[in-house]
């Protein structure tokens, strides 16, 4: 049997890897970075949302918010477990950073990460009350759905499987947000909703990143990416705008 | 983080000329840690001439066999596999991490599924574990194994597979494909390629009825089979891969010792290689290698910046650095020269590091 194929060649032709024993160094680095970004975003998202639970109007809303916090923590845990197989100290990792820390509402950091963790920039902004949290969760929930569809194709099969398992759970979070928004609209609590959309729209949009094409091609040849960020962002914009339109809201810029 | 435990070797049995099946028993109360799932692997470590080697080998036992066994085929020039095949004896102990890996699907006693397994050479090890477990746990399941080997005398577990065929008559079928030994049916001779698979799907395997396929073998074979499966209509979610590349590195080279450890002043020159290109930068010795790379617009990988996640790992090829915190790398990695660049400060006036190794 011809056994002299390089791992890079194997990956470029659509091969899948299944354990840390034979991932090339740059693959390992890109994969760990991707996992860290997901874990940090989930942990920061859950931590930020935890503070909002008590502001939910009624028990059902609070249950929905608590469920989101629980499940985002669980999603983080599942991906962190894979990082553990690469050597990460998983217990220390979860506790090494104050995940509730946020910047000022008017901080403008674009796509920059903080110095201390890999959460997407959007998770560095504070939520302002229940309605604002619902809007953020709706927009980000739709973005996560698009991103998870992309990452479910990743060439590291154990991670692809975890993402495929997480995808419907995260999709449900966006649905819960939509139900929350529906309720706010029914109760004529429209005030501030459009402002929240305008605040979160560009920040969620920035979470798709703008990597240059050379870098994208590099990740693509390793099977770590398939669709360019710009295309993913366009897909999200269309889907999120359609959802907003149902409630008489318009996308931000 | 997973820790190593001691396993006692209770039996070493040859299956073919250059492969052994090793039976293992956890000691010191670690039995529950080694409660494995079919298709998982164990990672062993052993010192060879003062250098630690780690190797992963798949479990070949079924989940309900009541025994922990791995199959180890001797690889040309492989220190660990040669040692296991020639020197390992019952009564010896081996250091191993608890079972890892996700080369399996959940079992369901009521399911009526058709599984298809492809194995090349010693790649049969995890597939054997899966098929034994599945046929026992799912009484209505059927399993077809396509098993590629060079010739008749290199078929691992040949007799065991025959026994299983008799035990699970009508539910388990093996198709042996031999590279160099002629068989009655021409189709069963040669390599398992995409074309060969397509032909098998025409008359020998009812591909439409297949729920899940497991593939474990060398890279080109896995690619060919996966393409054939996709062409036949299987989704990626139905195809499970396990690759233990021939690329498990041989003997690791020892790090060059820092000959000129003499250092002056507070400045260092760092040559940093990333994505195949090298930049030489001036940096203060109070700065981490990661920050020096980032400051010079290099896209170095990092995540936690707290020495926890190991994303920023790089290798020191020349010179010496000091790592102030390390919660991720293990001793053997550090010995090979790996450092967490977010925690590493230059000690010598010149350091050469590489993120690509």
Reported as type and span, the H/E element at residue B283 is: strand B277-284
- Closest alpha carbon within chain A to B218: A3
Residue A117: which of B43, B240, B304 has the nearest Cβ?
A: B304
CA–CA separation, A247 and A220 (whole Å): 38
All residues of chain A having their beta carbon less than 8 Å from the beta carbon of residue B299 are 215
Domain annotation covers residue A167: yes
3-state secondary structure chain A: CCCCCCHHHHHHCCCCECCHHHCCHHHHHHHHHHHHHHHHHHHHHHHHHHCCHHHCCCHHHHHHHHHHHHHHHHHHHHHHHHHHHCCCCHHHHHHCCCCCCCCCCCCCCCCCCCCCCCCCHHHHCCCCHHHHHHHHHHHHHHHHHHHHHHHCCCCEHHHHHHHHHHHHHHHHHHHHHHHHHHHHHHCCCCCCHHHHHHHHHHHHHHCCCCCCHHHHHHHHHCCCCCCCHHHHHHHHHHHHHHHHHCCCCCCCC
CB A121 within 8 A of CB A46: no
**Whose CA is closest to B69, among B60, B78, B56?**
B60
Residue A15: which of B1, B223, B305 has the nearest Cβ?
A: B223
Residues A219-225 have a mean pLDDT of: 94
CB A222 within 8 A of CB A27: yes
All residues of chain B having their beta carbon less than 8 Å from the beta carbon of residue A22 are 243-245, 247-248
All residues of chain B having their beta carbon less than 8 Å from the beta carbon of residue A89 are 1, 308-309, 327-328
- What would the CATH number be for the domain defined by B5-96? 2.40.30.10
Q: What is the value of pTM for the model shown?
A: 0.82
CB B55 within 8 A of CB B251: no
Residue B282: strand pairing partners: B269
Domain annotation covers residue A126: yes
Q: Given a cut of 80, is residue A4 above it in pLDDT?
A: no
CB B52 within 8 A of CB B111: no
CB A31 within 8 A of CB A7: no
Q: What is the pLDDT of residue B301?
A: 84
Cβ <8 Å between A32 and B223: no
Cα-based distances in Å from A30 to A105, B99, B295: 31, 25, 19
Q: What is the pLDDT of residue B183?
A: 83
Alpha-carbon gap: A158 to the closest alpha carbon of chain B (Å): 6
All residues of chain B having their beta carbon less than 8 Å from the beta carbon of residue A157 are 102, 240-241
Q: Length of chain B, please?
A: 357
What's the token pair of residue B103?
Answer: 């080369």
- This model of the complex carries an ipTM of 0.77
All residues of chain B having their beta carbon less than 8 Å from the beta carbon of residue A15 are 219, 222-223, 226, 241, 243
Domain annotation covers residue A194: yes
Q: How confident is the model at residue A114 (pLDDT cuts 50, 70, 90)?
A: low
Summarize pLDDT for A156-215 with one digit per residue, the tens: 999 999 999 999 999 999 999 999 999 999 887 787 899 999 999 999 999 998 767 788
Residue B71: strand pairing partners: B21
Residue B120: strand, helix, or coil? strand
Domain annotation covers residue A13: no
All residues of chain B having their beta carbon less than 8 Å from the beta carbon of residue A85 are 2, 100
Q: What is the pLDDT of residue B248?
A: 45
B114-242 has the same fold as B5-96:
no
Q: What is the pLDDT of residue B328?
A: 82
**Whose CA is closest to B96, among B43, B28, B41?**
B43
Cα-based distances in Å from A165 to A186, B55, B237, B265: 33, 30, 11, 54
Which residues 85-104 on chain A approach chain B with CB closer than 8 angstroms?
85-90, 92-93, 96-97
Please report, for the domain that includes residue A126, its CATH number.
Answer: 1.20.1260.10
Give the sheet arrangement for strand B350-354, strand by strand.
B277-284, B267-274, B350-354, B313-318, B338-340
Residue among B272, B309, B339, B343 with most chain A CBs within 10 A, to mutate: B309
CB count within 10 Å of CB B180 equals 11
The topology (CATH level 3) of B114-242 is Rossmann fold (3.40.50)
Cβ <8 Å between A14 and B222: no
Alpha-carbon gap: B263 to the closest alpha carbon of chain A (Å): 30
Q: What is the pLDDT of residue B1?
A: 52
Buried b (16+ CB within 10 A) or exposed e, B110-132: eeebbbbbbbbbbbbbbbbbbbb
Q: Which residue has the higher pLDDT, A104 or B226?
A: B226
CB A127 within 8 A of CB A200: no
3-state secondary structure B27-85: CCCCHHHHCCCCCCEEEEEEEECCEEEEEEEEECCCCCCCCEEEEEECCCCCHHHHHHH
All residues of chain B having their beta carbon less than 8 Å from the beta carbon of residue A27 are none
- Closest alpha carbon within chain A to B246: A3
Q: At what angle do helices A59-85 and A129-151 cross, to 10 degrees?
A: 40
All residues of chain A having their beta carbon less than 8 Å from the beta carbon of residue B78 are none
Alpha-carbon gap: A221 to the closest alpha carbon of chain B (Å): 13
Domain annotation covers residue A160: yes
Burial category of A77 from C-beta neighbours within 10 Å (exposed 0-12, middle 13-18, buried 19 and up): middle
All residues of chain A having their beta carbon less than 8 Å from the beta carbon of residue B219 are 3, 5, 7, 9-10, 15
Query: What distance, in Å, lies between the first and last C-alpha atoms of chain A?
Result: 56
Domain annotation covers residue A10: no
Q: Where are the domains of chain B?
A: 5-96, 114-242, 267-354
All residues of chain B having their beta carbon less than 8 Å from the beta carbon of residue A6 are 247
- Closest alpha carbon within chain A to B177: A1
- Closest alpha carbon within chain B to A81: B1
Domain annotation covers residue A207: yes
Q: How many beta-carbon contacts under 8 Å exist across A and B?
A: 153
CA–CA separation, A127 and A131 (whole Å): 9
CA–CA separation, A83 and B181 (whole Å): 44
CA–CA separation, A242 and B283 (whole Å): 51
Task: Say yes or no: domain B267-354 is CATH 3.40.50.1370.
Answer: no
Q: What is the pLDDT of residue A239?
A: 96
Residue among B99, B288, B304, B333 with most chain A CBs within 10 A, to mutate: B304
Alpha-carbon gap: A249 to the closest alpha carbon of chain B (Å): 37
Question: Along the 357 residues of chain B, how does pLDDT read in single tens digits?
Answer: 567 899 999 999 999 989 999 999 999 888 889 999 999 999 898 988 877 788 889 999 999 999 999 999 998 888 899 999 999 999 999 999 999 988 999 999 999 999 999 999 999 999 999 999 999 999 999 999 999 999 999 999 999 999 999 999 999 999 999 998 888 888 999 999 999 999 999 989 999 999 999 999 999 999 999 999 999 999 999 999 998 754 444 433 333 333 344 455 688 999 999 988 899 999 999 899 999 998 898 888 887 787 888 889 999 999 999 998 888 888 888 888 999 999 999 999 999 999 988
Domain annotation covers residue A7: no
Residue whose token pair is 């809303």: A61
Domain of A155, in residue numbers: 22-245
Cβ <8 Å between A87 and B1: yes
Q: Domain count for chain A, please give it.
A: 1
Alpha-carbon gap: B264 to the closest alpha carbon of chain A (Å): 31
């Amino acid at each position: 049997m011809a056994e002299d194929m390089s791992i890079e060649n194997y990956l470029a032709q659509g091969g899948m890897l299944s354990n840390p024993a034979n991932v090339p160094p740059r693959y390992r680095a890109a994969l760990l970075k991707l996992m860290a970004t997901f874990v940090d975003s989930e942990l920061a998202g859950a931590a930020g949302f935890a503070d909002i639970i008590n502001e939910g109007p009624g028990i059902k809303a609070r249950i929905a918010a608590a469920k989101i916090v629980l499940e985002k923590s669980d999603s983080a845990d599942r991906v962190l477990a894979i990082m553990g197989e690469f050597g990460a100290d998983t217990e220390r990792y979860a506790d090494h950073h104050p995940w509730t820390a946020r910047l000022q509402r008017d901080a403008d950091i674009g796509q920059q990460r903080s110095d201390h963790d890999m959460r997407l920039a959007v998770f560095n902004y504070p939520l302002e009350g229940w309605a604002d949290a619902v809007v953020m969760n709706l927009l980000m929930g739709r973005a996560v759905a698009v991103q998870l569809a992309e990452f479910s194709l990743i060439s590291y099969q154990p991670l692809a499987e975890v993402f495929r398992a997480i995808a419907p759970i995260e999709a449900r979070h966006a649905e819960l947000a939509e139900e929350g928004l529906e309720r706010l609209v029914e109760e004529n609590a429209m005030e501030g909703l459009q402002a929240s959309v305008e605040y979160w729209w560009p920040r969620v949009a920035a979470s798709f990143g703008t990597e240059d094409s050379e870098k994208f091609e590099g990740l693509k040849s390793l099977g770590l990416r398939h669709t360019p960020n710009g295309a993913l962002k366009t897909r999200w914009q269309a889907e999120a705008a359609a959802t907003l339109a149902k409630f008489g809201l318009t996308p931000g810029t | 983080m997973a820790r190593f435990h001691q396993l006692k070797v209770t039996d070493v049995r040859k299956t073919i000329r250059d492969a052994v099946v090793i039976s293992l028993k956890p000691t010191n109360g670690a039995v529950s840690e080694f409660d494995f799932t079919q298709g998982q692997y164990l990672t062993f470590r052993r010192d060879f001439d003062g250098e630690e080697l780690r190797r992963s080998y798949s479990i070949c036992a079924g989940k309900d066999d009541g025994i922990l066994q791995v199959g180890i085929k001797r690889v040309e020039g492989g220190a660990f596999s040669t040692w296991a095949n020639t020197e390992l004896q019952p009564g010896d102990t081996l250091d191993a991490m608890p079972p890892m890996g996700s080369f399996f699907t959940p079992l369901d006693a009521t399911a009526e599924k058709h599984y298809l397994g492809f194995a090349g050479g010693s790649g049969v090890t995890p597939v054997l574990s899966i098929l034994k477990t599945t046929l026992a746990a799912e009484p209505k399941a059927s399993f077809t194994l396509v098993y590629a080997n060079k010739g008749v005398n290199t078929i691992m577990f040949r007799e065991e597979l025959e026994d299983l065929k008799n035990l699970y008559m009508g539910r388990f079928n093996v198709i042996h494909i031999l590279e160099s030994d002629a068989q009655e049916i021409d189709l069963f001779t040669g390599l398992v390629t995409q074309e060969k698979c397509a032909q098998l799907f025409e008359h020998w395997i009812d591909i439409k009825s297949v729920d899940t396929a497991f593939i474990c073998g060398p890279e080109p074979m896995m690619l060919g089979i996966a393409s054939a499966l996709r062409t036949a209509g299987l989704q990626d979610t139905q195809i499970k891969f396990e690759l233990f590349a021939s690329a498990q590195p041989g003997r690791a080279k020892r790090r060059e010792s820092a000959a000129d450890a003499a250092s002056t002043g507070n400045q260092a020159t760092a040559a940093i290689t990333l994505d195949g290109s090298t930049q030489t930068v001036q940096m203060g010795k109070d700065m981490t290698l990661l920050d020096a790379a980032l400051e010079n617009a290099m896209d170095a990988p990092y995540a936690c910046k707290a020495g926890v996640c190991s994303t920023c790992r790089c290798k020191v090829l020349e010179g010496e650095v000091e790592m102030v915190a390390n919660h991720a790398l293990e001793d053997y990695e550090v010995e090979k020269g790996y450092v967490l660049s977010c925690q590493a400060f230059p000690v010598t006036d010149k350091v050469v590091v590489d993120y690509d190794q």
